[in-house]
């Protein structure tokens, strides 16, 4: 990301840039993925850049900006492209503003309607009384309110449209945020989402005392398999294993791609006995299936996984918990792989 864009995203312009990027993406039928959002933030922020000129050329030629084309543009013009925290922060700012404005619009509409109703009731109650002066005042106020409501009818229609538009923009931002926390290959949570969730789980465990267990899983001999059959088959293996892990690690647990061929499952409020049973089920299911090449139905053999898990000790920080689970994983590997190992117990762990 260029210095100019970084500067803009740290300035009051961030709100405007995020809004312009989303509006431009929608106008051109571009799906708001993480990479596309970054690409179009660059586009609206630097209209004279090589990237912007290329996008303008493609649009002028009627070329649809597909996800594949977006990836190619990012690779060409943003060689170090990755979702920048500044972009997410800009999205957070916009999302908060959208919620605030939407709430204000709804409150204003409701207040105006209730005010008119109250004045009408007051006038009705004064019918037949002698307090002509008071009645005249109320009637004048009622008339003024009716006039204001008539004049604001068009505005209310615009406000309704604006509310719908704000809701659409907020949904787009939420999609971008979800994509930013998801691993593109496996559709599991990514490392960023895992780190945030584990920190939160540790904090909650200190509050409710229910504990948390962490498991780390690794595909055995994956590098050799990948080298022998190619990266496409390697990706097929990753997706298969992640589908099993994702099913076993569904909410309220959290399954994540920890990195490369490693995965993790957070077990909030669950102990090591439960974690071991789940990990054994994953291990047995993964090894029970003979994989085949999709294009040729060629037999690829079977794969296995190794796992390690650790139960959190009161006061233990996330980093220490990960280290203990990781050590248990490597104990499984050193013992011959295709097995599950519990972390060694420790007497005490220093608080974070």
Q: Where are the domains of the chain?
A: 1-180, 191-342
According to the per-residue pLDDT averaged within each range, which of 114-123, 174-183, 238-247, 290-299 is highest? 238-247
Ranges 13-17, 72-76, 128-132: which has the least confidence: 128-132
Q: How many CB atoms lie within 10 A of CB 331?
A: 16
Dihedral of alpha carbons 71, 250, 253, 275, sign: negative
- Catalytic positions, written as ranges: 261
Percent of the chain topping pLDDT 90: 36
Q: Which two tokens stand for residue 3?
A: 């210095």
Residue 213 has pLDDT above 50, yes or no: yes
Spatial contact of 163 and 106, defined as CB atoms under 8 Å apart: yes
Q: Which two tokens stand for residue 198?
A: 């584990």
Q: Would you give the distance in Å from CA 25 to the centre of its chain?
A: 19
- pLDDT: which is higher, 5 or 314: 314
How far apart CA 308 and CA 275 sit, in angstroms, is: 10
Q: Give the contacts of 175 (CB within 8 A, at least 6 positions apart).
A: 32, 33
How far apart CA 47 and CA 256 sit, in angstroms, is: 38
Q: Would you give the distance in Å from CA 313 to the centre of its chain?
A: 29
The domain 191-342: what is its CATH number?
Answer: 3.30.70.270
Q: Quick check: pTM over 0.85?
A: no
According to the per-residue pLDDT averaged within each range, which of 132-136, 189-193, 225-229 is highest? 189-193
Position 22 confidence tier, pLDDT thresholds 50, 70, 90: confident
Instruction: Give the per-residue pLDDT at 21.
Output: 84
Instruction: Give the per-residue pLDDT at 348.
Output: 41
Q: Give the contacts of 316 (CB within 8 A, at least 6 positions apart).
A: 202, 349, 351, 352
How far apart CA 323 and CA 318 sit, in angstroms, is: 9
Cβ neighbourhood burial of 71 (10 Å; 0-12, 13-18, 19+): middle
270-312 confidence digits (pLDDT tens): 999 999 999 999 999 999 988 887 777 788 889 999 999 999 9
Q: Which two tokens stand for residue 157?
A: 């229609």
Q: Apex CA 132: angle with CA 130 and CA 137, to 5°?
A: 145
311-340 confidence digits (pLDDT tens): 999 999 999 999 999 999 999 999 999 999
Q: For residue 309, which of 335, 336, 280 has the smallest C-alpha distance?
A: 280
Instruction: Give the per-residue pLDDT at 178.
Output: 72
Q: Would you give the distance in Å from CA 84 to the centre of its chain?
A: 14
Q: For residue 163, which of 101, 118, 107 has the smallest C-alpha distance?
A: 101
Cα–Cα distances in angstroms (integers) from residue 298 to residues 180, 253, 329, in the given order? 35, 35, 31
Ranges 153-167, 234-248, 323-337: which has the least confidence: 153-167
Task: Tell me the chain's radius of gyration from C-alpha atoms.
Answer: 29
Average pLDDT over residues 11-16: 66
Average pLDDT over residues 220-240: 88
Instruction: Give the per-residue pLDDT at 284.
Output: 96
Q: Which two tokens stand for residue 137?
A: 């005042």
Q: Give the contacts of 319 (CB within 8 A, at least 6 positions apart).
A: none
Q: Which two tokens stand for residue 159?
A: 């406000």
Position 258 confidence tier, pLDDT thresholds 50, 70, 90: very high
Cβ neighbourhood burial of 100 (10 Å; 0-12, 13-18, 19+): exposed
User: Percent helix, strand and coil across the chain, each rounded to 5?
Assistant: 65, 10, 25
Q: Apex CA 324: angle with CA 319 and CA 330, to 5°?
A: 125
86-133 confidence digits (pLDDT tens): 455 555 555 565 566 666 666 666 666 666 666 666 666 555 555 565
């Amino acid at each position: 990301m260029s210095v100019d864009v970084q500067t803009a995203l740290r300035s009051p312009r961030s709100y405007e840039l995020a809004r312009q990027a989303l509006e431009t993406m929608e106008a051109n039928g571009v799906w708001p993925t993480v990479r596309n959002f970054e690409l179009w933030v660059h586009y609206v922020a630097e209209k004279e850049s090589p990237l912007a000129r290329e996008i303008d050329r493609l649009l002028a030629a009627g070329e649809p900006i597909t996800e594949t084309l977006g990836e190619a543009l990012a690779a060409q013009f943003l060689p170090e492209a990755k979702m920048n925290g500044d972009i997410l922060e800009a999205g957070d700012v916009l999302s908060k503003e959208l919620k605030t404005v939407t709430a204000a619009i709804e409150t204003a509409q409701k207040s105006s309607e209730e005010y008119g109703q109250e004045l009408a009731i007051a006038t009705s109650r004064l019918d037949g009384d002698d307090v002509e002066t008071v009645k005249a005042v109320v009637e004048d106020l009622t008339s003024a309110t009716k006039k204001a409501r008539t004049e604001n009818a068009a505005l209310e229609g615009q406000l309704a449209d604006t509310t719908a538009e704000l809701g659409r923009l907020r949904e787009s931002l939420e999609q971008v945020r979800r994509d930013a926390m998801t691993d593109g290959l496996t559709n599991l949570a990514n490392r960023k989402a895992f780190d945030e969730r584990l920190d939160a789980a540790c904090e909650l465990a200190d509050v409710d005392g229910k504990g948390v267990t962490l498991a780390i899983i690794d595909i055995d001999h994956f590098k050799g398999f990948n080298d022998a059959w190619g990266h496409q088959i390697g990706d097929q293996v990753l997706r298969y294993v992640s589908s099993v892990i994702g099913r076993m690690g569904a909410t309220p647990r959290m399954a994540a791609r920890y990195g490369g061929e490693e995965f993790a499952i957070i077990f909030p409020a669950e102990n090591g006995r439960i974690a071991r049973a789940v990990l054994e089920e994953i291990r047995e299911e993964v090894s029970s299936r003979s994989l085949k090449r999709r294009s040729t139905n060629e037999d690829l053999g079977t794969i296995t996984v190794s796992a390690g898990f650790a139960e959190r000790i009161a006061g233990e920080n996330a980093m220490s918990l990960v280290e203990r689970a990781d050590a248990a994983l490597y104990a499984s590997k050193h013992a011959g792989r295709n097995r599950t190992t519990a972390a060694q117990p420790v007497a005490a762990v220093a608080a974070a």
